[in-house]
Amino acid sequence: MKNKFGISPMIGYVLLITFVIIISAVVYQQLKTYVPKEGLDCPDGVSLFIKDKSCQDSEIILELENNGRFDIGGYYIYASNTSSQDVATIKLSNYADGLQLLDPGIKFAGPLNSFKSGQRVIHKFNLSGTFYSQIKSIEIIPMRWQEENNRQRILSCGNAKIKEKLIGCIIT
């Protein structure tokens, strides 16, 4: 009985650490396949232009034109009620008159990406009855649908964001 040897505790720890490293490498290789390799981006050339803007009787009226190379599916619109605010935080899509909503944005009528290059549209936002006293600026971020792996995904085109100041837009 005195001459029987077992595995020394030090060799046991080395084997345990080796197995843990090998198993973690295998798990990492498997999980790496679940993460997309690169993010989806809007193509360069997506552009939305505010052709005309006005504010009358607590209503913001925007004439938008797609002056880019690609069709657009909708847009996100936010407003700011102070001139010191860098990021607009008031979601104007809540106040859209008769427009198709796609929370938190607005979808153009028709199929996906139906706002063709060169088209114009007039959208109205009624702010009467809100607690906002004035609107100083608006931000519009175009969005479009793009197919990836046989699925339609919505993309926010932050690189095409536009910001416009509204002068004298008092809400009553």
CB neighbour burial string for 1-28, b if at least 16 within 10 angstroms, e if fewer? eeeeeeeeeeeeeeeeeeeeeeeeeeee
Residue 83 belongs to some domain of the structure: yes
CATH number at residue 130: 2.60.40
Give the Å distances, CA to CA, from 44 to 6, 105, 148. Answer: 67, 21, 17
Instruction: Write the pLDDT tens digit of every residue in 103-158.
Output: 778 888 778 888 999 999 999 999 888 888 888 899 999 999 888 878 888 888 98
Look-up of token digits 């114009």? 120
Residue 18 belongs to some domain of the structure: no
The number of domains in the chain is 1
Residue 99 belongs to some domain of the structure: yes
Q: Which domain holds residue 83?
A: 48-170
Residue 145 belongs to some domain of the structure: yes
Residue 2 belongs to some domain of the structure: no
Residue 11 belongs to some domain of the structure: no
Residue 100 belongs to some domain of the structure: yes
Instruction: Write the pLDDT tens digit of every residue in 25-65.
Output: 999 999 988 877 777 788 888 999 999 999 888 889 999 99
Residue 81 belongs to some domain of the structure: yes
